[in-house]
Amino acid sequence: MKQTVKIILLRCLWIGLGVLAMGLIFNWLSPSGIPLVAKYQTIIVQGESQKIPLFMKRRTATSQDTDREVQLVSEIDTEKARRFFSEGGAVFIDTRDYKAYLDGHIAGAVSIPFGEFQNDPDLIGDLDRNARIITYCDGDDCQTSIDMAVHLSEIGFKEVWFYFGGWKEWVRADLPIVKGGKP
């Protein structure tokens, strides 16, 4: 009986190792494979350091041809967001879903829900990579503005900020909003 249990356990171990090896090989061969050790960017959010994983695919992250400096993203507060809004030239990107955008958004903001963007990076369309970009979502209970900012900096946008206070702080400050409109 002991010998049978031992054989079963050894077979399970070999099957498990085989499955692990197959998974690693598939990940390595897949064009959208993920890195085994993720690179990350350290940013400051409300005075605390956070490590945000970079979104680059494994082949892109390790390729010599695409080795470029990722621009660091920074948090802005309501006052700086208001100043950028008043000066013009800044593109505000609402990373919330379309329904939240239609319920109300920063005047002039572009709707690019982060979940949709991950599935279709072409949603950024013809955005100027040298434009001042400010991403926002619902505020401190939402992380997509940070994720979008990091992702945009990875793909070559030069001047990217995230407005962590987002929609809630903008409304609280009684700054220009729009309801409805085309996402």
What predicted TM-score, i.e. pTM, was given to this entire model? 0.70
Closest by CA to 71, choosing from 134, 148, 136, 156, is 156
Question: In the chain, what are the domain boundaries?
Answer: 1-30, 40-178
What torsion do the CA atoms of 16, 19, 21, 25 make, to the nearest 10 degrees? -170
Each residue's pLDDT tens digit in the chain (183 positions)? 778 888 898 899 999 999 999 988 888 888 777 767 666 667 777 677 777 766 655 444 444 334 445 567 889 999 999 999 999 889 999 999 999 999 999 999 999 999 899 888 888 888 888 899 999 999 877 889 998 998 898 888 889 999 999 999 999 999 999 998 766
- Six token digits for residue 160: 């990217």
Superfamily of domain 40-178: Rhodanese-like domain (3.40.250.10)
Q: Are 41 and 72 in contact (CB under 8 A)?
A: yes
What torsion do the CA atoms of 26, 31, 32, 38 make, to the nearest 10 degrees? 80
